[in-house]
Amino acid sequence: MSLLEVDKLNSYYGDSHILFDVNMRVEENEVIALLGRNGAGKSTTLKSIMGAVTPRKGSIRLSGEDIAGHPPYDIANHGIQLVPEERRIFGSLNVEENLVLAAMSAPNAWTIAQIYEYFPRLKERRRSRGTDLSGGEQQMLAIARALIRDPKLILLDEPFEGLAPIIVQDLLGVAKKLAKEGRTIVIVEQNVKAALSISNRCYIINNGHMVFDGTPDDLDAKPEIMQEYLGV
């Protein structure tokens, strides 16, 4: 049994059919890259898993339990954390208050000291309000808020988007460390090279349909797939 099993998932925005019979599996301690062009359905897949979008058909099983259609807070309590593209930190709270608030309802929350081992920059900025942080620092905080809840599965939606290359390298280093420690991650990212560098397997979604499932080496051996669906 896989940690996460998505079977024939169909999701809509209003009357617009976005995901068509999407299948996906994630094993424990695995890093999965979910790739595709803008508008392909990547973020909708993550939001459907997290409950922010309610699927109309299909199943989503976490450790064998169907969680499709459950509210996001319940899915979070089951052990999934989504780091959204918009980050959604609390701008009026400082770094430490954001972390404390995220940890409050987690049964096995990390300590703040553990978080600062991954993000020493956040320790330096611990008294700064969210609105006073740079884009890179806000992304660090968004990821830290997910980690402090000790999730079974972390969903990262475009974590490197719009960030300076040096910040991307810092965040990639954190992702590699988490992967090495056996954390289970699904990453949606336009930076294909960065995403594949930390992934065990990858999926490509195109116009709401899964069109590829394999390892980064499998994908590298099929440049025509890269060109057709990723423009790489």
pLDDT digits (tens, 9 = 90+) for 52-105: 999 999 999 999 999 999 999 999 999 999 999 888 899 899 999 999 999 998
**Model confidence band, residue 232 (pLDDT cutoffs 50, 70, 90):** low
**CB 176, CB 208: distance < 8 Å:** no
What are the C-alpha distances in Å from 80 to residues 23, 128, 156? 18, 27, 11
The CATH number assigned to the domain holding 9 equals: 3.40.50.300
Alpha carbons 93 and 128: distance in angstroms, whole number: 8
pLDDT digits (tens, 9 = 90+) for 126-182: 999 999 999 999 999 999 999 999 999 999 999 988 888 888 899 999 999 998 898
**CB 181, CB 31: distance < 8 Å:** no
Domain holding 208, by residue range, is: 1-76+195-232
Both tokens of 157, joined, read: 């939606």
pLDDT digits (tens, 9 = 90+) for 196-221: 999 999 999 999 999 999 999 999 99
The single-letter code of the amino acid at 87 is R
Tell me the pTM. Answer: 0.93
Is residue 149 assigned to a domain?
no
Is residue 26 assigned to a domain?
yes
Number of structural domains found in the chain:
1
**pLDDT recorded at residue 86:** 86
Is residue 173 assigned to a domain?
no
Alpha helices by DSSP H, listed for the chain, are 42-50, 72-78, 95-103, 112-118, 120-124, 135-147, 165-180, 192-197, 216-220, 223-230
Is residue 19 assigned to a domain?
yes
Is residue 71 assigned to a domain?
yes
Is residue 97 assigned to a domain?
no
| Average pLDDT in the chain | 93
Is residue 213 assigned to a domain?
yes
Is residue 14 assigned to a domain?
yes
